[in-house]
Structure 1
């Protein structure tokens, strides 16, 4: 049966645009590429490769007829784009089309979603001239977010610790990074294979690519450090930073407005602030506002002549320690606690309740983020304790001056409230908090006489022993380059320097 003849659509199809871009308009150039793609399709389907006549191909290219049957699958294999989109219109405005990804690169992209269940990656444009997208779901504290993303094939220069995107991609990259929005580049390298045999992916913020490809800076290649390879460590960092940064940037004005009214609330020993008071605030925005109030409330109401000995956190999973690693105000709070504790008889510590079933249910990247937070606290001079009994997860967050006072300030998992704060001075109240801390000291599942010993015990409890052979090295690599060179923070409320220090600290543990 002859191919159906159609009325010429009156627009240039995406298929035509891709043929022009790749220099395949002539039958002689197209035939070989089509034959190779047909062999791959036939191998999957277990049949004989289909061929196409020159006259049929010319009708496809001119928009005069539509491929049918297996030919549609061959074209999808050849271009890596759904057939319906190939037959749709190419963009009217002048755009640079991205290069075609080979099968290894497409497989590496699909592997991302199978490896991390909070990820939905569409690394190429669904329609020419429209960017791809990466959707990242939140589990508890983090909001779901998305970021524009485009994948490019790159070559490995492992002697220089970089992979490089070549100049043939620069026209499209410059177009992709031009808008002032959050966007990521993914570089696919076939020579870099993981345990599953798929090509490696490397990530870079579009803002850094924009700087590197500035017209006044001629470059022969766009380098991405091999430290930025996408694995559980970089995924944990990337997801935490993107979700936090995007949410706080979106909430910037309401958070600024609410911050102006905190002083009146800080005058009170007891304060509860309902979520409905700030409708529409993101989960991360609520966490920032709640932690902002509770940290300042604690410093305001702690006795200036008493030395706090312990803090109690309700964080149990990686998402819930992201504020500790990223919020500027949390870094200030730890500094203030250490200053007040300087006159005490022993260094202060922070207790967590992380039951065994929570560990078992947490993805690897979540457990890595929790471990990084423990390492950061130890690096800062705080002893860390982890208890496993589930009943301790119900305790409010507090700062304790033993036998004298506890300042309670709960903002994490505070149900319908952004925060709930109080000052406990009655002996019976203080004794309850004292007993909780004594239990944490005596029964911590990460007991050890030094920071290194406690963190090595944390590796075992968090079930990170299977990645411990590589985790310190990966943290050292990422910390050496700095996450600030992989991702650019846009919100004024977070900073990446402390996270980088935690990565470098973990990197030194193996030694």
Structure 2
């Protein structure tokens, strides 16, 4: 007598788990949601909306049959998750599933990539317990990186100047922010019908959300300031901080070891460090190490001469000014440069060469970051001169003591080197550097007798006129709340405080 066939084991699918969590398991609730999703699919692919019977639905959720044809696309439309994953098993371990996002929320996330070419955003959880991701690429200096991300739907609370994620999402938010890794929350708010709110996406570091949710006081909502709306300004900050911070964090041990050995190079006036001498170092890590050495080299040899009058930088795009705004050691170097320059007869400043074609090709968020760096330098009491002749972009970086010496220290776009440094003291050499600075001063596109006038000229040259009407106010909003409460730096080598200072400085400029 043949043995009876073993009973077929039917796993609990992710489809059923999502239906249960969202309260959509009943046929009456599911039928309406499915019909609406079917209409959207039909409008997109053409044809008649596909329907489903109650008996078929019951077999789906029991795991006894699998949807076919357009029904698969309808379910993907409804849940924002691939059909294969929906039909796969729900996780056995205890996890909190995220809420199913509305089609409008998913569309808003898709627009992020169309607006910023260096972004690839996958904000929904592909399977329960696994985070979405936001891939951020660099243009030149920055290394590509990825950060965990989760999108939630939120409500607008204009009276409190915040958007808020509601308590129904708290269980998943707590699970999402619990791991000790960098992660970002995105909150979506639809544009208010009365025109009182801009809607869109808002961003918050998971570390800040974790602190808010750990409070013992009762919370009726998780607030995110409206100032953290994701636009070109906040994307510039998020993109710059996350990519630079992740790279420096990965390189921390290597950078610490390399910094200990800089002293032997500082003893020499002329020194070069090849890129291949430190294998495995990221591009950002190489920029930090190169800028660190060149700063120390300049300060060592400048003290042997008179007061410097100008610092020549090779930065041309937003990524290349990030070290000025983010690196702690660059903040210290600028402070020391200003102190040494205080004894001179000329007003000290910084020269940057930005050819017209480079400015025109740079994305808006990159030009915004470059402008913030100019504002930060002006705020620090340094005049900014911007020349546009392409041939001047090839000049090495240097600090000039007029008529006496030029301390050369190139780390930006140094080809195969992390740095190359020298001290020019021969009269002919110093004269060439002096003439370059004089030309930049005389032909700067940012001419003006005040910081406000120079920055206003930079707005025009960088093509920021289209946003200038509201840009100072936008900077003031973000600066008032502080990027340090929107993002968290994990590297000891980075500080966001100076970005906030630059934002507040721009916020004080007239939009007229």
TM-score bracket for the superposition, by shorter chain length: over 0.9
Q: CA deviation at 1:26?
A: 2.1
Instruction: Give 2:255's aligned residue.
Output: 255
SS of the residue corresponding to residue 343 of structure 1 reads coil
For these two proteins, the number of residue pairs brought into alignment is: 503
Query: 2-side partners of 1:8 and 1:467: how far apart?
Result: 63
Q: How does 1:90-169 map to 2 (within 5 A)?
A: 90-169=90-169
Q: How does 1:67-466 map to 2 (within 5 A)?
A: 67-191=67-191, 199-214=199-214, 216-304=216-304, 306-466=306-466
Q: CA deviation at 1:24?
A: 2.1
Query: 2-side partners of 1:69 and 1:479: how far apart?
Result: 52
Q: Report Cα offsets for 1:140-173 as digits up to 9, x if no partner.
A: 1111111000000000011211000000000000
Q: CA deviation at 1:46?
A: 3.9
| Equivalent pair of 1:192/1:200 in contact (CA under 8 Å) | no
Q: CA deviation at 1:34?
A: 1.4
Q: CA deviation at 1:263?
A: 1.1
Query: 2-side partners of 1:272 and 1:142: how far apart?
Result: 22
| Equivalent pair of 2:10/2:64 in contact (CA under 8 Å) | no
Q: CA deviation at 1:8?
A: 5.6
| Equivalent pair of 1:108/1:198 in contact (CA under 8 Å) | no
SS of the residue corresponding to residue 396 of structure 2 reads coil
Query: 2-side partners of 1:350 and 1:24: how far apart?
Result: 62
Q: Report Cα offsets for 1:431-483 as digits up to 9, x if no partner.
A: 00000000000000111110000000000000000110121111111100000
Instruction: Give 2:3's aligned residue.
Output: none
SS of the residue corresponding to residue 357 of structure 2 reads helix
Instruction: Give 1:476's aligned residue.
Output: 476
Query: 1-side partners of 2:411 and 2:46: how far apart?
Result: 59
- For structure 2, the residue ranges without an aligned partner over 5 or more in a row are 1-6
SS of the residue corresponding to residue 286 of structure 2 reads helix
Query: 2-side partners of 1:70 and 1:336: how far apart?
Result: 67
Q: CA deviation at 1:256?
A: 0.5
- For structure 1, the residue ranges without an aligned partner over 5 or more in a row are 1-6
Instruction: Give 2:29's aligned residue.
Output: 29
Query: 2-side partners of 1:472 and 1:198: how far apart?
Result: 17
Query: 2-side partners of 1:141 and 1:192: how far apart?
Result: 39
Instruction: Give 2:4's aligned residue.
Output: none
Q: CA deviation at 1:305?
A: 5.0
Instruction: Give 1:467's aligned residue.
Output: 467
| Equivalent pair of 2:151/2:186 in contact (CA under 8 Å) | yes
Relative distance call for 1:265 and 1:161 in structure 2 (3 A) is same
Q: CA deviation at 1:29?
A: 2.3
Q: How does 1:38-57 map to 2 (within 5 A)?
A: 38-57=38-57
Query: 2-side partners of 1:70 and 1:350: how far apart?
Result: 62
Relative distance call for 1:217 and 1:281 in structure 2 (3 A) is farther
Query: 2-side partners of 1:173 and 1:217: how far apart?
Result: 17
Query: 2-side partners of 1:337 and 1:159: how far apart?
Result: 45
SS of the residue corresponding to residue 190 of structure 2 reads strand
Query: 1-side partners of 2:437 and 2:81: how far apart?
Result: 58
Instruction: Give 2:497's aligned residue.
Output: 497
Query: 2-side partners of 1:345 and 1:67: how far apart?
Result: 80
**TM-score normalised per structure 2:** 0.96
Query: 2-side partners of 1:207 and 1:66: how far apart?
Result: 41
Q: Report Cα offsets for 1:195-244 as digits up to 9, x if no partner.
A: 9x995000000000000001523211000000000000000000000011
